[in-house]
Amino acid sequence: MRDDPTHLAEQVSSVLRHLVLLLRRTVAGQPVTSQQYGVLGSLEGGPRRMTELAEEHAVQLPTMTVQINRLEDAGLVTRGSDPADARVRTVELTSEGRARLRAVRQARVAHLTRELAALTEQERETLAAALPVLAKLGRL
């Protein structure tokens, strides 16, 4: 019974709700929203095109357009063009955007680090082992 996939699903389902709340608290009151943070993170490795960003964040293109508009208004990213294809808009971090990303990441990780520090060494190991499995779940 303990290994019944349905039973496990029920547990996962309930734990997931808790984690959503945890995530919400983790980013509460920071100078960018959780989504904005995610988009900035996608830009860290260099310019990206709109379609890539939308796909990576599992949203429709118009949704990403609005997000990028806001980030652009805030001076955190700039739009550019692909010289090889005039249909394509590229998006790039400004230096201010890069600084903001670093700051938010630092705060976010610090918050989680504090939570993790309250666990035992063994619990942290159990958690670390499960992370790849969870990541796989999310990608199915």
Partner DNA sequence: CCGGAATATTAGCCAGACTAAGTTAGTTGA
Partner DNA sequence: TCAACTAACTTAGTCTGGCTAATATTCCGG
* Residues lying near DNA in the complex (CB under 7 A): 33-36, 49-51, 57-70, 79, 82, 85-90
Residues 6+ apart with CB under 8 A from 1: 7
If binding is defined by CB under 8 A, does position 140 make contact with a copy of itself? yes
Lay out the site mask for a copy of itself across 51-90 (x = CB under 8 A, - = otherwise).
-------x--------------------------------
Q: Binding residue for a copy of itself (CB under 8 A) from 66, 82, 99, 124?
A: 124
How would DSSP label each residue in 35-100?
HHHHHHHHTTTS-EEHHHHHHHTT--HHHHHHHHHHHHHTTSEEEEEETTEEEEEEEEE-HHHHHH
Picked from a copy of itself, DNA, none, the partner binding residue 50 (CB below 5 to 8 A depending on kind) is DNA
CA 63 from centre of chain = 16
Nearest to 108 by CA among 10, 9, 50, 24: 24
**Residue ranges binding a copy of itself (CB under 8 A):** 2-3, 5-6, 8-26, 38, 58, 108-110, 112-113, 115-119, 121, 123-131, 133-140
